[in-house]
A = this chain, B = another copy of it.
Amino acid sequence: MADPSPTLLETFENPYPNRSYTIDTVCPEFTSMCPKTGQPDFGTLTISYIPNQKCFELKSLKLYLQQYRNHGAFYERVTNQILDDLVSVTEPKWMKLEAAFTPRGGIRTTVIVEYPESDS
């Protein structure tokens, strides 16, 4: 199976490009495969961004994320890769992605990545 690709992501023109405002999108149905165990992983992705000229289209976001359904991906790598893909396609003023995965072995992990990195 081919690797997930950002080409599925579609954008539309930001209707209010002169105002900085925030869009939060929550996707509780993300699933991918653990490359080590071959078992499925499940998580909730929360994407927050301040759009510049482009906003991502929600249906294309869904199809883009579904590419990971049978794709092997470690938590840290997949979270960074999705942020990179969304940033490259929408070129936002700011974007943050939180990926909260369900527990495995009694332990649960959330990865939080931001573009550009905050100074604090």
A-side interface residues toward B, CB under 8 Å?
14-16, 19-29, 31, 39-40, 42, 51, 55, 58-59, 61-62, 66, 69-70, 74-77, 79-80, 102-114, 117
Contacts and interface: CB of A to CB of B under 8 A. Distances in A.
A55 B109 CA distance: 12
A42 B29 contact: yes
A106 to B, nearest CB: 4
Interface of A is mostly: mixed
Q: Which of A21, A42, A59, A112 has the most CB of B within 10 A?
A: A21
Given A29-B102, A40-B29, A19 B80 contact: yes
A23 B62 CA distance: 24
A66 B21 CA distance: 24
A23 B76 contact: yes
